[in-house]
Amino acid sequence: MKRIYYIDWLRILAIITVFFFHTSHFFDPMYWHVKNPQQSESVLLFLGFINLWIMPLFFFLSGASGVFGARKPFLSFLKSKTLRLLVPYVMGVLLLIPPQKYVEGLSNHTFAGGYFDFLQTYFSGGIFNYPMGFDPLWIGAISYHLWFLGHLFVISILFYHLMKYIDMKGEKLMNGINRITSFSGGAVLLFIPVAIAGVLLKKHFPNYTSWADFAKYALFFFLGFLCTTNEGLKQSFLKSRFIALGIGLVLTVMYFVSFSLKETTFGQLFQNNQVYGYYAFQETAGALVTWCWIIFIVATGMKYLNKDTKYRQPLNEAVLPFYILHQTVLLLIGFVVVQWNWENWSKFGFIALSALFTITVVYRLVIKPFNITRFIFGMSKKPIEMN
């Protein structure tokens, strides 16, 4: 099976989006690890829109690549995922998350002292001081943004045998999906399993990245796999692109408008999750709007980005190290910059540009050239150059 170029390009564009998403977090009024003294609610429009679909899109794209892994023997697949996901997750927890938690502690005045004093406290018990029980929430509590790698590792292993079965013997299932989704807009119907998972689980596991979110991310991963292996579903995506865009726009606008109408029935429908009917609507609408944006983004990628250039391979290779590094670099730079007496836009620009420069230098000079650092950041061994 040949390389699917639009998946690579969408992954590259998604990681750039995440970078600016996290850069913006310094300036919104919601909680984050380090905050700028002057905050703006207008930033929430950007963050709220991106938050509707960005992480589900990452899981979808990861599932779309899953067909290549599913054709390997299980032990080979397990080794690949361990090196690609688990190793950088563990190394990130040990090396990159402590600096984030340190500047967070300084910023929030929950810690005062030097970095090495913090490390002694952190590794003597603080790293695992999260009484959450058997819950995937624990994966993210110790790893911050690296929760994605931990969740993806577990989901990939759990779905391996199902993906392998469908790839080899799933023709009837795929034909059934094709019949259900063959009409224009038919691909939208695939949001239903995600909505059911949300309605059944979110009430009991409301925290971000707990079991409800884990189940939904697993379904987005599986849907990405189905899309890659099913030509009929690809065509349904293309036929459903503008219908999905329309639904996505309408629901997104309704969601944002509801914040200014909280006391009305309309506002309660989107904001009050204590009434079961409202809660069920919110989970259903949330799954629908997320899936519609994914359909539109992926179908647009299919149509316009399924091409190779000299930039695709090096950029795609850098995506994982960039993701692993970016939040630590942003927080270290941002912790200093937010204390300056500058306008918000000037701070945003300086943080973004200096972080991009720092990540690029570290990647080019420290990570990419050496096999040991490539190993730590989930990259394959450096290719042997032939004379």
Closest Cα partner for 100 from 325, 253, 386, 266? 325
Q: Which tokens go with 49? A: 């829109």
Average pLDDT, the chain: 93
Residue 319 has pLDDT above 90, yes or no: yes
Cβ 74 vs Cβ 16: under 8 Å: no
Mean pLDDT, rounded, for 87-114: 94
CB proximity list for 168: less than 8 A, separation 6 or greater: none
Interval 119-160: pLDDT, tens: 988 888 666 666 667 788 889 888 999 999 999 999 999 999
Mean pLDDT, rounded, for 194-216: 96
Interval 357-379: pLDDT, tens: 999 999 999 999 999 999 999 99
Per-residue confidence at 275, pLDDT binned at 50, 70, 90?
very high
Mean pLDDT, rounded, for 195-209: 95
Distance CA 208, CA 185 (A): 30
Per-residue confidence at 217, pLDDT binned at 50, 70, 90?
very high
pLDDT confidence of residue 383: 76
Q: Which tokens go with 187? A: 């691909």
pLDDT confidence of residue 387: 52
Dihedral through CA 63, CA 67, CA 71, CA 75, nearest 10?
-10
Residue 386 has pLDDT above 60, yes or no: no
Cβ 118 vs Cβ 107: under 8 Å: no
pLDDT confidence of residue 127: 62
Mean pLDDT, rounded, for 110-118: 91
Question: 337-362: buried (b, 16+ CB within 10 Å) or exposed (e) per residue?
Answer: bbeeeeebeebbebbbebbbebbeeb
Per-residue confidence at 83, pLDDT binned at 50, 70, 90?
very high
Distance CA 387, CA 380 (A): 21
